[in-house]
Amino acid sequence: MKYRIIAIVILLLGGTLGYFVYQSQVDHQAGAQSRFAKYPFKLGLDLKGGSHLVYRADTKNLVSNQIDPAMSALREVIENRINAIGVAEPAITTQKVRIGENVENRLIVDLPGVTDVKQAIAQIGETPTLDFRVEDPNYDPNNLVGTVVDGEVKLEMPDQFIKTQLTGAYLKSARAEFDQQTGEPYVAITFNKEGADLFEKITGENVGKRLAIYLDGVPLSIPTVNEKITGGQAVINGQFTPKQAKDLAERLNFGALPVNVELISTQTIGASLGEAAVTDGVKAAIIGFLLVAIFLIFWYRLPGLISIISLSIYALIVMSIFKLIPVTLTAAGIAGFIISIGTAVDANILIFERMKEELRGGKEIPEAIQAGFGRAWTSIRDANIASILVGIVLMSTGIPIVRGFAVTLIIGMLISLFSAMTVSRLMMYALRFKKSGRIVRFMFNSGFSK
C-alpha cells in the first residue's frame, strides 16, 4: 500500500510538471501576465534567429598574465552595454583560436532576435580605450606652427597633454557619489594594485598640474592634481550634475579596457529558419518518443508501460530544470538531451533484462523485480558516471556550442539515474502481485516469451 501511495504522488508530481512546462510556454507566447510566463524555454541563436558577431582582440601589447583578465573585462563591458540597450538574452563568450604558431583571442557575440547585422554592430559600437595624460612640458600656445594650404594658413595645434603608462587596464571601478557636506556629485575611481602604484607616481610628479582623462582620444575630464594620491583611490570634481556624474562613471567603466577589438566575421540567422529548426526538432522528438514507446510496450509489456511513464516524468523534470535555471537550448543542446533520453531508455532495458533472467531462474515476480534493479544498478551507475565525466570535460574545455551540448547531457544523465532507479522502481513495486499466475507472468515477460 505504501508504494502505491508514493506512486500516486509521483504521478501527480509528473502531472504538475507537465502543466508547468506547457502553460509557461503558452503564457509566454501569448504575452500573458502570469507567474508562469516568465519561465519560457531560453532558445539559442540557431533556434531563435539573430546575429552572430566575431571580434578579434588586439592583445599584442599585453603580457601573458594580463590577457585572460583583459578578455574577461572586455566580455563584461560588452555584455553590460548590450544589456543596457535592451537586447534580450545576449550570449557573449571569449575564445582562443590557434592559427599556425599564433593564438588569437576572440570575442563571440550572439544577439538573439537581432537579424540586422548593421544594427547589431551599431548596438555594440567600438570598444573605447581609456588613458590618463599629463601636461606636455613643451606645449606653448604662443608658439604655433603653421602651413599654407590653398593660400590659407593652417595652424598645427600641438598636443597639450601626453600619454602616460596609466590606462583603463588598471582601472578597477568608477562610481558616482555625493559629498556628504555639500551634496555635490563627484566621481570616485579605484585602481588595482599596479594602477595604484602608477597613479601615486604620476600624481606625485604633477602636483599643481592638470591630469587629463581621455576616452577614445577625447578628454572626459581634466582635473587638477592637488596632492600626491596614494591607495589607488581618487575623486574627480567638476561641478557635475547628478546625471553628468553618473554618465561619466559609466563611460569610465565602459572605457576601462586594455584592448581594442576588430570585427572579423558576421552571420545572420533568420527568425523563420530558427522557427523551422524548433518545429522540426519537436516533431522529430515526438515521433522518436512514440516509436520507443511502441517498442517498449510491445517487447516488455507491463514493465515497458511503466518505463514510458517513468521516461515521461524524467523528460518533464529535465524540461522544468531547463526553464528554471534557465538553460540556453541550442540544436547541440537538444542533441545532448536526446542522448540522455536514450541512456534512460537503455537503463530501463537493462533492468528489464535482469528481471527476465530472474524469472527464468524460477523466482517470483516480487523477488525478480528486486533482484533485477539490484543487479542492474552497478552497470547503470558506471555508465552514467562515465558520461557525466565526459560532459564535465567538454563543458570545461569546449567551445560554446560544445558546452551547451555538455550541460544538457550532464543534467539529463543525473536525472536519468533518479528516473530509472527511483521512479521506475517505485512504480514496479506498486504493481507487486501476491500470486504469479500465467497472465501475470505473461505481462512481466518480454519478447515472444509466454
HEC-encoded secondary structure of the chain = CHHHHHHHHHHHHHHHHHHHHHHHHHHHHHCCCCCCCCCCCEECHHHHCEEEEEEEEECCCCCHHHHHHHHHHHHHHHHHHHHHCCCCCCEEEEEEEEECCEEEEEEEEEEECCCCHHHHHHHHCCCCCEEEEEECCCCCCCCCEEEEECCEEEEECCCCEEEEEEEHHHEEEEEEEECCCCCCEEEEEEECHHHHHHHHHHHHHCCCCEEEEEECCEEEECCECCCCCCCCEEEECCCCCHHHHHHHHHHHHHHCCCCEEEEEEEEEECHHHHHHHHHHHHHHHHHHHHHHHHHHHHHHHHHHHHHHHHHHHHHHHHHHHHHHCCCEECHHHHHHHHHHHHHHHHHHHHHHHHHHHHHHCCCCHHHHHHHHHHHHHHHHHHHHHHHHHHHHHHHHHCCHHHHHHHHHHHHHHHHHHHHHHHHHHHHHHHCCCCCCCHHHHHHHCCCCCC
Please report where in the chains the cell 516488455 appears, as a residue: 300
Q: Considering the domain boundaries, does residue 449 fall inside one?
A: no
**What integer pLDDT is reported at residue 102 of this predicted model?**
85
Q: In this structure, is residue 450 part of a structural domain?
A: no
Task: Mark whether 249 and 365 lie in a shared domain.
Answer: no
CATH number of the domain bearing residue 101: 3.30.70.3220
Residue range of the domain that includes 72: 50-127+261-267
Distances (CA, A) of 201 to 138, 142, 164, 206: 21, 30, 11, 9
Burial code (b: 16+ CB inside 10 Å, e: under 16) for 252-290 equals bbbbbbbbbbeeeeeebbeeeebeebbeebeeeeeeebe
Please tell me whether residues 276 and 421 are part of one structural domain: yes
* pLDDT in the model for residue 409: 93
Tell me the Cα Rg of the chain.
32
Q: Decide: 228 and 211 in contact? Cβ < 8 Å.
A: no
- Rounded distance between C-alpha atoms, residue 275 and residue 279, angstroms: 6
Amino acid letter, 8:
I
Domain boundary at 215, 233, 267, which?
267
- Which of residues 215, 231, 256 is at a domain's end? 256
Question: Is residue 375 a part of any domain in this protein?
Answer: yes
Report the predicted TM-score, pTM, of the whole model to 2 decimal places: 0.66
Q: What is the pLDDT of residue 442?
A: 81
Domain contains 245: yes
Taking only the tens place, the pLDDT of each residue in 138-166 is: 887 676 655 555 556 455 556 889 999 89
Asked whether residue 210 falls in the same domain as residue 163, the answer is: yes
Dist. CA 116–CA 270, nearest whole Å = 9
Nearest to 77 by CA among 69, 66, 67: 69
Q: Are residues 426 and 284 part of one domain?
A: yes
Q: Among 244, 267, 290, give the residue marking a domain's end.
A: 267
Tell me, yes or no, whether 143 and 22 share the same domain.
Answer: no
Residues 436 and 301 reside in one and the same domain: yes
Domain count, the chain: 3
The pLDDT of residue 444: 81
Judge contact between 170 and 201, C-beta under 8 A: no
Residues 325 and 440 in one domain: yes
Question: How many Cβ atoms sit within 10 Å of the Cβ of residue 51?
Answer: 26
61 and 178 assigned to the same domain: no
| CA pseudo-torsion sign 438, 443, 444, 449 | positive
Q: Does 164 lie in the same domain as 117?
A: no
What are the residues whose beta carbons fall under 8 Å from the beta carbon of 44, sequence distance 6 or more?
91, 110, 112, 328, 329, 330, 331, 333, 404
Asked if the structure places residue 190 within a domain, the reply is yes
CATH number at residue 295: 1.20.1640.10
Verify that 329 and 435 share a domain, yes or no. yes
Which CATH number characterizes residue 229's domain? 3.30.1360.200
Q: Are residues 141 and 208 in the same domain?
A: yes
Three cell numbers, residue 258:
586594455
Q: Which grid cell is 294?
A: 511502441
The predicted-structure confidence for 202-247, as pLDDT tens digits, reads as follows 999 999 999 998 866 778 778 888 889 899 888 877 678 888 888 7
Within the chain, which residues score under 50 in pLDDT?
153
d(CA 136, CA 5): 84
At 320 the pLDDT is 95
pLDDT score at 145: 59
The phi, psi pair for 106, rounded to 5°, reads -125, 155
294 with 337, same domain: the answer is: yes
